Chain A
Amino acid sequence: MPFELFVAVRYLRDQPFQTGLILSGIGVGVGVIIFLSALITGLQVSIIDRTLGSQAQVFVRPIEEAPRIHPPRGAELLATTVERPPQRVRSIDGWQEVEALLLRSPGVTGAAPTVTGPAFAVRGLGSIALSVRGIELESYRSIVDVESRLVEGNFDLAGFNVVVGTELVRQLGVSLGGRVRIQAAGDRGGVYTISGIFDYNSVTLNESLVFISLRGAQTLFGIPGGVSAIEVKGRDVFEAEALAEQIRDRTGLVAESWMEQNGDLLTGLRSQSMSSIMIQVFVILAVALGIASVLAVSVAQKAREIGILRATGTPSGSVTRIFFIQGGILGGLGSLFGIALGIVLALFFASVARNPDGSATFPVALTPLLYGRSALIAIGVGLLAAVLPAREASRLDPATAIRNG
Chain B
Amino acid sequence: MADHPVAVLQAWDIRKTYGERVVTEVLKGIDFELASREFCALTGPSGCGKTTFLNLAGLLDRQTEGRILLDGEDVGPLSDEERTTLRGTKLGFVFQFHHLLPAFTALENVMMPLVARHGRKTPAMSDKASYLLDEVGLADRERYKVTDLSGGQQQRVAIARALVVDPMLVLADEPTGNLDTESSAQVMELLKAFNERAGTAFLIVTHEESIAAHCRRVVHMVDGVIDSDRVVV
Contact = CB atoms under 8 A, between A and B. Distances in A.
Contacts of B67: none
B20 to A, nearest CB: 16
B61 interface: yes
B161 interface: yes
B217 to A, nearest CB: 25
Interface residues of A, dominant DSSP: helix
A11 B80 CA distance: 25
Contacts of B55: 399
Interface in A20-41: none
A14 B103 contact: yes
Q: Which of A13, A313, A315 has the most CB of B within 10 A?
A: A313
Contact of A312 (B88, B102, B104, B120): B88
B116 A312 contact: yes
A14 B103 CA distance: 6
A90 interface: no
Given A313-B89, A313-B113, A308 B119 contact: no
Contact of A2 (B84, B85, B112, B120): B120
Interface string A296-321: 00000000110011111111101000
A17 B61 CA distance: 36
B133 to A, nearest CB: 16
Interface of B: 55, 58, 60-61, 80-81, 84-85, 87-89, 93, 95, 99-104, 112-113, 115-121, 161, 165
B81 A312 contact: no
Contacts, number: 70
27 contacts: A1-B120, A2-B120, A3-B118, A3-B119, A3-B121, A6-B120, A6-B121, A10-B103, A13-B103, A304-B99, A305-B102, A305-B103, A308-B101, A311-B60, A312-B87, A312-B93, A312-B112, A313-B84, A313-B89, A313-B117, A314-B84, A314-B88, A315-B84, A315-B85, A316-B80, A399-B60, A399-B61
Contacts of B85: 313, 315
B35 to A, nearest CB: 23
Contacts of B117: 313
Nearest to A4: B119
A316 B88 CA distance: 13
